[in-house]
Amino acid sequence: MNKEFSIHWFRQDLRINDNPSLNYLSTNGDNIVCIFIYDEINCDRQLGSAGKVWLHESLNYLNEQLDNKLLIFKGDPQKIFDEIFNNFNVKKVCWNRCYEPWRIKRDFKLKSNLKKKVNVKTFNASLLWEPWEITKNDGSPYKIFTPFYRRGCLNYKLPRKPESQKISFFNHTMKSINVKDLHLRKQISWEEKLIHKWKIGESHAYNIMKSFFSEGIKDYSEGRNFPNKKNVSRLSPYLHWGQISANQLWYEAEKVRPDVSEENIDIFKSELGWREFFYNLMYHFPEIQSKNLQTKFENFPWDENNNYLECWRRGKTGYPIVDAGMRELWETGYMHNRLRMITGSFLVKNLLLHWHNGEHWFWDCLCDADYASNSASWQWVAGTGTDAAPYFRIFNPITQAKKFDPTGEYIKRFVPELKNIPTKYIFEPWLCPIDVSDSIGFKIGIDYPYPIVDIKQSREKALNAFSSLKTVNYEK
């Protein structure tokens, strides 16, 4: 095959529509060949188990979109590109940027080397604004969300409008490995359970988006806090893997006026703004995944208790709303955002376990596990980040459950051993009278565990530990 062609390198942009790199190559009339490289050599952490399952299914879907013409490789991109250049006539290499620190380091070096041989262009397909664009007047990064979003983002240029065009792919005969050769799947029942919970691929992301903007957004400002309501989009895995763009969501939100209140639209767009903020933090503070952004926490007296940690992971803490959230995570590879805050607060403040434990578990179990969002969110919950929950903000799992799952339906869905408990006791099943327990065949401590910590005592212990730190002077 001696005909000249150009390469689009798929990364976390696993879509055909609104793909700036593909659009550029198509506009310029290039013969387009698409590749995907699974790089475990340069990365600083392996993909989590749920992420691998999602990627496996996504690549199969994408390959079908490309009529089985997606070239799949595994290894160091530099060596793979060198091999391609040695055997084929490549005109350009294009890709959409990623922002993880290890990828920035790898891509900078790679781009410099590739430009010695071919034309190279990169694009923004993941974010509404580039991390280096939104800074304070003195060029320093924002550390607090509200000024970042209101003063920085909303006063900057409008996000790129989505653009989709018909892409013609080169009908090549090149060979590569198959998706299964990446060994992303272990062929265990847990993986099958995840797959059955989702429809993975670009068209499914689009359908979910349409459904959300048709119904879910109408009560988004309030409904998003209730895990049993359908007011969250559940698009985060698709957004993370680039099967839909943030730009598409931003402008779809614009389209629902005047049928949807300004408040609902504004809050939804601000949630996209939080994602931008987390990427901004990761770009400017590249050690966010491993180090506290507030260095005073380096000597914080975290506990070490493997029994507590395992109870939390498996959803057996004795607090139904916490256990429901953790079981939703395990069963679906997803957790409602309200539950992410509740379960996170319980781990770091009631159990006083290091936020790294939660970050690592979520990284492994979430289909939407994102380097920036996962790390920054855990630092927010733990109070160790730049714009973080104050130390005295400790989510009470009992009052949170009563407020946001008042009928206990969410709890019953994921903690079925409590399905017959009367609603008045479902939030505190250890208070269920013996005669009531006997009548429904339920025994606390046998059918469902007693609480592993006392909520009031653990709160006081946390307050004492956190208040020992010096007060933070938050940026205005």
- Tokens at residue 386, please? 């730049």
- Cβ atoms of 280 and 386 closer than 8 Å: no
For helices 262-284 and 371-382, angle between their N-to-C axes, nearest 10 degrees: 100
Kindly report, residue by residue over 157-215, the tens digit of the pLDDT.
999 999 988 899 999 989 999 999 999 999 899 999 999 999 999 999 999 999 999 99
Q: How confident is the model at residue 475 (pLDDT cuts 50, 70, 90)?
A: very low
Considering only the top CATH level, what class is 295-467?
mainly alpha
> What's the DSSP call for residue 9?
E
Question: How much is the pTM?
Answer: 0.95
The percent of residues above 70 in pLDDT, for the chain, comes to 98
Give the model's pLDDT for residue 390. Answer: 74
Give the model's pLDDT for residue 158. Answer: 97
Instruction: State how far the Cα of 391 lies from the Cα of 350, in Å rounded to an integer.
Output: 12
- Cβ atoms of 249 and 160 closer than 8 Å: no
Residue 391 reports pLDDT greater than 80:
no
For 321-381, what is the HEC assignment? HHHHHHHHHHHHCCCCHHHHHHHHHHHHHHCCECHHHHHHHHHHHCCCCCHHHHHHHHHHH
Instruction: State how far the Cα of 446 lies from the Cα of 448, in Å rounded to an integer.
Output: 5
Considering only the top CATH level, what class is 127-162+201-284?
mainly alpha
Q: How confident is the model at residue 474 (pLDDT cuts 50, 70, 90)?
A: very low
Give the model's pLDDT for residue 392. Answer: 78
How far CA 32 is from CA of 1, 35, 264, in Å, comes to 14, 10, 41
Going from N- to C-terminal start, the domains of the chain cover 5-125, 127-162+201-284, 295-467
| Phi, psi for residue 262 in degrees, rounded to 5 | -60, -35
Residue 458 reports pLDDT greater than 80:
yes
Residue 73 reports pLDDT greater than 70:
yes
Residue 61 reports pLDDT greater than 60:
yes
| Phi, psi for residue 90 in degrees, rounded to 5 | -95, 130
DSSP 187-245: --HHHHHHHHH---SHHHHHHHHHHHHHTGGGGHHHHTT-TTSS-S---HHHHHTTSS-
Helix, strand, coil fractions of the chain, as percent rounded to 5: 50, 5, 40
Rg (CA), the chain: 24
Other C-beta atoms closer than 10 Å to the C-beta of 186 total: 10
Kindly report, residue by residue over 202-257, the tens digit of the pLDDT.
999 999 999 999 999 999 999 999 999 999 999 999 999 999 999 999 999 999 99
In total, the chain counts a number of residues equal to: 476
> Per DSSP, what are the bridge partners of residue 72?
36, 177
Residue 1 reports pLDDT greater than 70:
no
Q: Tell me which residue of 161, 247, 256 sits closest to 212, measured CA to CA.
A: 256
Q: Tell me which residue of 295, 59, 355 sits closest to 183, measured CA to CA.
A: 59
Q: How confident is the model at residue 467 (pLDDT cuts 50, 70, 90)?
A: confident
Give the model's pLDDT for residue 334. Answer: 97
Q: DSSP alpha helices (H): ranges in 49-151?
A: 49-65, 77-87, 101-114, 145-146
For 250-278, what is the HEC assignment? HHHHHHCCCCCCHHHHHHHHHHHHHHHHH
> What's the DSSP call for residue 416?
G
What is the Cβ-side half-sphere exposure of residue 349, based on CA atoms within 13 angstroms? 29
6 three-state secondary structure: strand
Give the model's pLDDT for residue 386. Answer: 85
Other C-beta atoms closer than 10 Å to the C-beta of 327 total: 19
Give the pLDDT mean for 110-117: 97
Q: How confident is the model at residue 470 (pLDDT cuts 50, 70, 90)?
A: low
Give the pLDDT mean for 403-430: 97
Give the pLDDT mean for 37-51: 96
Gap between the terminal Cα atoms of the chain: 60
Kindly report, residue by residue over 264-290, the tens digit of the pLDDT.
999 999 999 999 999 999 999 999 999
124 three-state secondary structure: coil
Given the candidates 3.30.420.40, 3.40.1280.10, 3.40.50.620, 3.30.300.30, the CATH classification of the domain at 5-125 is: 3.40.50.620
Q: Tell me which residue of 240, 371, 283 sits closest to 105, measured CA to CA.
A: 283
Cα dihedral 359, 363, 369, 375 in deg (nearest 10): 30
Residue 472 reports pLDDT greater than 80:
no
Whether omega for the bond prior to residue 258 falls within 30 degrees of 0, making it cis, is: yes
